Amino acid sequence: MTKRQTPPDNLDTDTGQLAEADWLARYVQTDGGGDLVNGIRDLIRSGRLQTGARLPTVRMLAPLLGVSPATVAGAWSRLRDLGLIETRRRGGTVVTDLGPRVAAHPAAADAQSWDLAQGLIDYALLPDLRQALLAGLDESSVHRASKEHAVPSLIAAVAPTWPFQPDAWSTAGSGTEGTLLAIQAAAGERGVVAIESPTSPRLLDICATLGVELVAVDCDERGPTPASLRAALAREPAAFVYQPRAQVPLGHAIDAARLSELARELEPHPGTQIVEDDFIGPLSQVAAPSMGALLPERTLLVRGYCNTYGIDLRTCVIGGSSRLVDKVRRLRSFGAAMNSRILQGALAWLLRDERTSAAVARARQRYASRRSVLLKLLQDRGLTAQGADGLNLWVAVPNEETAIVSLAAHGISVGSGRRCHVGPKAGEFLRVSTARLPDNPAELEHIADCFAEVLTAQRPDGMILGHE
């Protein structure tokens, strides 16, 4: 029996033949079972997962992906139905697909690979948490039995940055948890929710978890359109959910004029609550206005800080209607009723510390530069792409499935646009995460060249979208 090899440290250049759990966690999206199926299938089609590769166990992979074992098991079942894998009695789950492969690009054999699919932040740009955590230990209420959903020091630090004066504050364990609680408080379970489309797969996964029915609100370059919101409101949805800035995947921010137009549509529908998902927080380049300034009794703004300060801070802030914040608190009462006062105090310290603020400003600029440089390079090559803010680009393609597999042959992993649509997809797009792009101009040029080569090859006339 051949001794099992130890996986190399540089997993980004590994072929994936061993299919280690942490390797897969780097190369597949984790927005739900459907994305897991598509990710594994793309790895197989591109040859990065070869026939005979043994997949990790469900319980080993699920925690690394941040999903339940049931989600992974369901994805494995679907892959078996597609004939891509099989589970053997003693050999575990292995890749069995013998279908067509996309051969690796000749120049990609020894080249670096880039994960532009998962939306992970650049850990090198996170600030140091040591002093912040020590400051959190100094919170006067630490260890007390009383509940503090938002400690005074955190409210004092956050309030100057909030786009309106909330009636109440609370916290949650992450931006995703905060938004889930906010939507549940606003819409309940299995209600009707109006939501912008395309939108973040994370938001769609939250809504699927809650079992709500979704009504699409179309977007343009300024955000949700008033006409589409008006049509959605005819269904009398319990909530309207949107991203006020750095919208995933389109990258726009809502300006004051558009916000006023949307508010006028919402005013005759008092039963529709508003949830604003500010997932990127301080890393956004703009300070978008909030519906809380116009319809305060119906609005909750959820701001995430994990992208800015790191996932271990585990604190997002929720501010808005006292009625809705009370519902959020009640929903948390059956679990972790409040966030750690130590972590709340640490976030308060980070928001006030001048050195940390300077580090965040540098990170914000680095992220913006990576995104804007690649955007220009793609547009210079004739591709139709957009993304004015945030950590993503939205790139039009002739066929997204073919583009994903072809780019994988160049060592570039990208996200599927179909996971961003509410209902049937409107067009063929790629969701490209820009947070971990290289700063080296030559590498960015190479990535843009790969996009242009792949997308030109898809067109029968040799033209690229936008240059007919």
pLDDT tens, 124-154? 999 999 999 999 999 988 888 788 899 999 9
| pLDDT for 55 | 85
Same-domain check for residues 204 and 298: yes
CATH number at residue 194: 3.40.640.10
463 located within any domain: no
| pLDDT for 211 | 92
451 located within any domain: yes
Instruction: State CA 106 to chain mean position distance.
Output: 32
Same-domain check for residues 364 and 439: yes
468 located within any domain: no
CATH number at residue 451: 3.90.1150.10
| pLDDT for 54 | 81
Contact indicator for 197, 249 with CB cutoff of 8 Å: no
Q: How confident is the model at residue 227 (pLDDT cuts 50, 70, 90)?
A: very high
Q: How confident is the model at residue 226 (pLDDT cuts 50, 70, 90)?
A: very high
Average of per-residue pLDDT across 375-386:
96
Domain boundary among 318, 352, 386: 352
pLDDT tens track for 71-91: 888 788 778 777 788 887 666
Comparing CA positions, the residue from 44, 45, 42, 26 lying closest to residue 34 is 42
Whether residue 225 is predicted with pLDDT greater than 50 in this model: the reply is: yes
Locate 181 and state its tokens: 């609680």
Same-domain check for residues 167 and 216: yes
| pLDDT for 16 | 37
Same-domain check for residues 43 and 192: no
112 located within any domain: yes
3 located within any domain: no
Residue 403 sits in which domain range?
108-119+356-458
| pLDDT for 466 | 43
Q: Read off the amino acid at residue 269.
A: H
Instruction: State CA 146 to chain mean position distance.
Output: 34
Q: How confident is the model at residue 5 (pLDDT cuts 50, 70, 90)?
A: very low
| pLDDT for 89 | 65
1 located within any domain: no
| pLDDT for 106 | 55
Whether residue 347 is predicted with pLDDT greater than 70 in this model: the reply is: yes
| pLDDT for 357 | 97
pLDDT tens track for 166-211: 999 999 999 999 999 999 999 987 789 999 999 998 999 899 889 9
Average of per-residue pLDDT across 266-272:
97
Domain boundary among 352, 369, 399: 352
If one counts the domains in the chain, the total is 3
| pLDDT for 4 | 34
| pLDDT for 468 | 40
| pLDDT for 107 | 52
Neighbours of 333 (CB within 10 A): 11
**b/e per residue 340-370 (b: at least 16 CB within 10 A):** bbbbbbbbbbbbebeebeebbeebbebbbeb
Q: What percent of the chain has pLDDT over 90?
A: 59
Q: What percent of the chain has pLDDT over 70?
A: 86
Domain boundary among 292, 321, 352: 352
| pLDDT for 18 | 47
Same-domain check for residues 59 and 114: no
Q: How confident is the model at residue 159 (pLDDT cuts 50, 70, 90)?
A: very high
Across 43-47, 251-255, 282-286, 374-378, least confident range: 43-47
Average of per-residue pLDDT across 3-28:
49
Same-domain check for residues 234 and 348: yes
Whether residue 30 is predicted with pLDDT greater than 60 in this model: the reply is: no
Same-domain check for residues 330 and 242: yes
Average of per-residue pLDDT across 32-58:
73
| pLDDT for 1 | 35
Same-domain check for residues 135 and 25: no
Same-domain check for residues 372 and 397: yes
Dist. CA 221–CA 464, nearest whole Å? 22
Same-domain check for residues 77 and 178: no
Dist. CA 213–CA 191, nearest whole Å? 6
Average of per-residue pLDDT across 159-167:
97
First-to-last C-alpha distance (Å) of the chain? 58
Q: Tell me the pLDDT of the chain averaged across its residues.
A: 86
345 located within any domain: yes
CATH number at residue 80: 1.10.10.10
| 322: phi then psi, degrees, rounded to nearest 5 | -65, -35
5 located within any domain: no
| pLDDT for 15 | 37
Same-domain check for residues 253 and 343: yes
Q: Residue 4, class by beta-carbon neighbours within 10 Å (0-12 exposed, 13-18 middle, 19+ buried)?
A: exposed
Same-domain check for residues 301 and 446: no
Locate 301 and state its tokens: 């703004």
Neighbours of 401 (CB within 10 A): 15
